Structure formats: structure tokens, C-alpha cells
Chains A and B, each alone.
Chain A
Amino acid sequence: MSAFAETSCLFAFYFPRAVSEQAVLKIQSLQGSAHISSLVRYEFQQAVWFEVWRRANGNLHGLNPTDAQTELAAFDLDLEQGVWDIARPDWESVIVRAQCLTLSHTPRYGMRALDILHVATAQQLAVTELLSFDTNQRRIALAEGVAVSP
């Protein structure tokens, strides 16, 4: 079994969300590292600081800077310990796959670019499952024959 975790899964793994228990138990159950991409790593960092900005602008579900820094440090340590593995797909091939997914799904479902790119990355890496809580990504992945979890 090999798994590719996209950003919503990482976020729920590190920060309290309704699906955090599912994320934690899923990662706990894996025998080896969960694959991510450098794009997922970047988007996770961006999402964390975006939540800091949301908190600063009055959204109570946002994050304070201290909690953000703590969990980003935990993420870095988890990377070093092999909880996550940054896979290095051939990005040109990922883009070609993404273009195909766009033609198949965006006109009908209004998919976002990053959703498409994460699913295309999972396909390119030939993983057995995509770990995502994103409704759009789960829909595309299932339509393309990629198993989704948790």
C-alpha cells in the first residue's frame, strides 16, 4: 500500500478539525511514510499562515501565530523522521495528466487548479490511495479509479 496525502489531510492531522481523528488514525495505521509533494508542502505552509491571517481578521476558527509555528515545526520534524516523504514526480508529466483531468472534469464540476494537480500527482506516482478530505479531489479521484481515504 502506498498513499499520497494532500493538503487537507495534513491540515486535519496537525490542527483540530472535525475529521482530525480520522486523519490521525489513518496516518498512524500506515506501515511506512505517506507521500506528499513539494506542492503539498508549500500549500500546507500557505494554508497555515492564511489561517493566521484569518484569525487576525476576526475569524475565530483561524490560528494564532504561536500555534501555527509550533505545528509547522512538528511538521518539519515529522518530515525528518519519515512520517512524510516528499516524492519527486516528473512535473511535466503531472501537468500533462492535469490537462487531461481538466478537460474531463472542470467544465462539469468547476474544479480548482490545485485540486486537479494533487490528483494528477497521485496518478503520476501510481499510489494505491489518495488521502484527502476535499470533496472535489475525492470526486475526481474516484472517477479516475484512484482509491480515496480516510
Chain B
Amino acid sequence: MPCIFWHHHCVVKTLALEDIYADPHQLDSYLVSGEPVAVVRDGQAVAEFVPHKNAMKIAGEAERPFIDFRARFLKMWGPDALRSEVSVAEQFEEFRRPREL
């Protein structure tokens, strides 16, 4: 269930990832409210989503907000995530290969 907690000295709404998985549209009402939403998994925040209103304003100004993608990536996947040895080229070679009948 959605809850509220203190984060960076302001109230941030949170949604459990499981709730979003069950109903992806649960995010909609939160984002249109104009307040940020934190997504939590096992009690840990894994993503922070900004409101639609701010996003539309940004799009209208033809500017991209600064997002530290590297920090976000490491926050989601852990400190060793950028040391993966899995080849995306090999993955897509298999993904796009016609299925053998």
C-alpha cells in the first residue's frame, strides 16, 4: 500500500514496486498530483519519479533535466553493476536470430 515517509526534509510519497507491478497505472494519480514519488523494493528506495507537470514544463522548454544516470544505475543495480561481463551484442544476436523450427 502507498505510504508517506520523511526524505531529504520533505514528505515524499512512496509506492511499493509490487503494487506498480500489479497495476502500472497506480503511478498515474501520484505523478499528476505534482509531487515526486519514491519507488521502494524491500523497504529500500530504488527509483525516484518526478511529476508529470514538471516533466511537461521541461519538455515545453526543450531542455533535458540533469539526471545523474551513472548514480541512478548503480543505485538500482549495485556497486558492481558496471563491471558486468555479459555481452549485449551476443544477446541481441540471439534475440534477433530467427527461431529454429
Contact = CB atoms under 8 A, between A and B. Distances in A.
A13 to B, nearest CB: 7
B68 to A, nearest CB: 8
Contact of B58 (A17, A81, A134): A81
Contact of B17 (A8, A11, A51, A70): A70
Contacts of B58: 81-82
Interface residues of B, number: 43
A73 B20 contact: yes
Interface string A1-44: 00000011001110111111100110110111100000000000
Contact of B85 (A18, A78, A81, A134): A18
A115 interface: yes
Contacts of A112: 96-97
Interface stretch (A61-69, A95-103, A120-128, A141-149): A61-69
B96 A69 contact: no
Contacts of A31: 64
A133 B86 CA distance: 13
B27 interface: yes
B20 A16 contact: no
Interface of B: 17-18, 20-21, 24, 27, 39, 41, 46-47, 49-50, 52, 55-56, 58-59, 62-65, 67-70, 72-73, 76-77, 81-82, 84-89, 91-93, 95-97
